[in-house]
Structure 1
């Protein structure tokens, strides 16, 4: 994905449009979170580790701020650009017909503009996330998983890498979510499809996840990972069509 993205300037605007706002958000989040969270962290870490705690607490706070920045960036800036990038690559690979299903994404806007406006509102999104959070917190397995895995990501250097490896298949599925959407597959269809290619999805997700943990550059790698996922989806689609020409 990295090589293809760099050698196709037509793809660059998708990244260029978000560089400035993402940089501003990064500085703002880092500054605000450091001012709020560093003093209490520093006190605790100094009491536990002595003067070295000043450095380790700074690293911890920076890591937390970067996580917050990542959530904001993906929620408000990257989602649409990454989807458009995915679609553009499918077009470059001659799969324009697959994008015909994309019009279905906007049916709600045509037939029920008011409903769509509510659906896209901040309150609706917060409510949906709250319901998802409650479900996770009331599921014993997911609660146990969250309690075990959450502290791991704060381990310096190694923590994010461990998380990327443990969630590699989910990362790969998320990277190809647009392809699954265009195919109009159900969650069960997606699970069956990815399980048959578990090794490939684990490998792709592991590499993509590790690249996206790199501070600052991680957002650039989000675009190259999406590029790689789209190229992979194009190969899978063409292979499926060769096997089943009528599909």
Structure 2
């Protein structure tokens, strides 16, 4: 039976939607929910949260007192109405986030992100992947976090990238463009940040530099990483809570990685079933 004439028009749209639509933007948000729901994760945050929050508040106060009004005055040369104040706010928050991220690295909180990522993967049933890099106690430990053994030497969640830092500084002037400047800035910086936020997964999979590039540059993955990175960046611009969201983003990254591993398992099982069913 032939399809409806309408299929001639809708099928290309469906193919485009399947290729370009993604739910990856939800993972930074589900990471927050996972972290809040599972109390065994809280000690990872508690140890450093208070000093880092105080530091974040101090940095933002200094920036808003010293840099906000001069930048708004400069933006008013390009903006009409109140958009200069809005873009100026995003500009200062971005600068604050950059400074906080550098301090985050200095305080070795990246190691905390590694533990968050690995614990979530164990909780989702992918301990075998974590065992590639560190010991995992699978004899019914009290929590997935306590199942983790010592981290491997040089373990990183999202490596510091001078290229990303350079591009962020270069893209900052986009905030001078009224209305569309801020969204463009967030999307373009998210495009670069997305793959870095899953570097731990790539390392666990044993991908070398070329394999990693091939995986990231896949058409569908390119969009997925862009939206994942964009939402993660937006969360990190929320004043005071940026440190919290840096850690919960690691949980979101692991949930996404676990879903990809689950999908791979289902595909492999389906292939095995096909071979089994053959006479």
Contact 1:161 1:213 (8 Å CA) reproduced: no
Contact 2:93 2:239 (8 Å CA) reproduced: no
2:133 to 81, 102, 123: 102
TM-score, normalised relative to structure 1: 0.66
Aligned to 1:8: 38
Quote the RMSD (CA, aligned, Å): 4.1
In the alignment, the residues of structure 1 paired with residue 243 and residue 115 of structure 2 have an alpha-carbon distance, to the nearest angstrom, of 16
1:194 aligns with 2:216: yes
Aligned to 2:124: 93
User: How many Å apart are 1:191 and its aligned residue?
Assistant: 2.1
Contact 1:18 1:77 (8 Å CA) reproduced: no
Aligned to 2:261: 237
In the alignment, the residues of structure 1 paired with residue 172 and residue 70 of structure 2 have an alpha-carbon distance, to the nearest angstrom, of 18
User: How many Å apart are 1:180 and its aligned residue?
Assistant: 0.7
1:215 to 239, 243, 251: 239
Written as runs of structure 1 = structure 2, the 5 A alignment for 1:55-94 is 64-94=95-125
Relative to structure 2, which stretch is displaced further, 79-88 or 222-231? 222-231
Contact 1:87 1:99 (8 Å CA) reproduced: yes
Written as runs of structure 1 = structure 2, the 5 A alignment for 1:47-196 is 64-103=95-134, 106=152, 148-152=170-174, 161-196=183-218
Aligned length: 212
Q: What SS class does the counterpart of residue 107 from structure 2 fall into?
A: helix
More helix by share: 1
In the alignment, the residues of structure 2 paired with residue 205 and residue 150 of structure 1 have an alpha-carbon distance, to the nearest angstrom, of 17
Contact 2:53 2:241 (8 Å CA) reproduced: no
In the alignment, the residues of structure 2 paired with residue 155 and residue 7 of structure 1 have an alpha-carbon distance, to the nearest angstrom, of 40
1:225 to 249, 255, 258: 249
Contact 1:208 1:225 (8 Å CA) reproduced: yes
In the alignment, the residues of structure 2 paired with residue 227 and residue 176 of structure 1 have an alpha-carbon distance, to the nearest angstrom, of 11
Q: Structure 1 residues 94 and 61, CA, compared in 2 at 3 Å: closer, same or farther?
A: closer
Contact 1:5 1:224 (8 Å CA) reproduced: yes
User: How many Å apart are 1:161 and its aligned residue?
Assistant: 4.4
Aligned to 1:126: none
What per-residue deviation string (whole Å, max 9, x for no partner) do you get for residues 224-245 of structure 1?
3221110110111222234346
In the alignment, the residues of structure 1 paired with residue 246 and residue 128 of structure 2 have an alpha-carbon distance, to the nearest angstrom, of 26
Contact 1:14 1:81 (8 Å CA) reproduced: yes
The answer for unaligned runs of 5 or more in structure 1 is 49-54, 110-128, 137-141
Rg larger in 1 or in 2?
A: 2
Q: What SS class does the counterpart of residue 102 from structure 1 fall into?
A: coil
In the alignment, the residues of structure 2 paired with residue 13 and residue 156 of structure 1 have an alpha-carbon distance, to the nearest angstrom, of 43
Q: What SS class does the counterpart of residue 238 from structure 2 fall into?
A: coil
Task: After the TM superposition, list the runs of 4 or more consecutive aligned residues in structure 1 that deviate by more than 4 angstroms.
Answer: 30-35, 37-42, 58-63, 145-148, 153-161
In the alignment, the residues of structure 2 paired with residue 4 and residue 79 of structure 1 have an alpha-carbon distance, to the nearest angstrom, of 19
Bigger RCO of structures 1 and 2 (CA < 8 A, at least 6 apart): 2
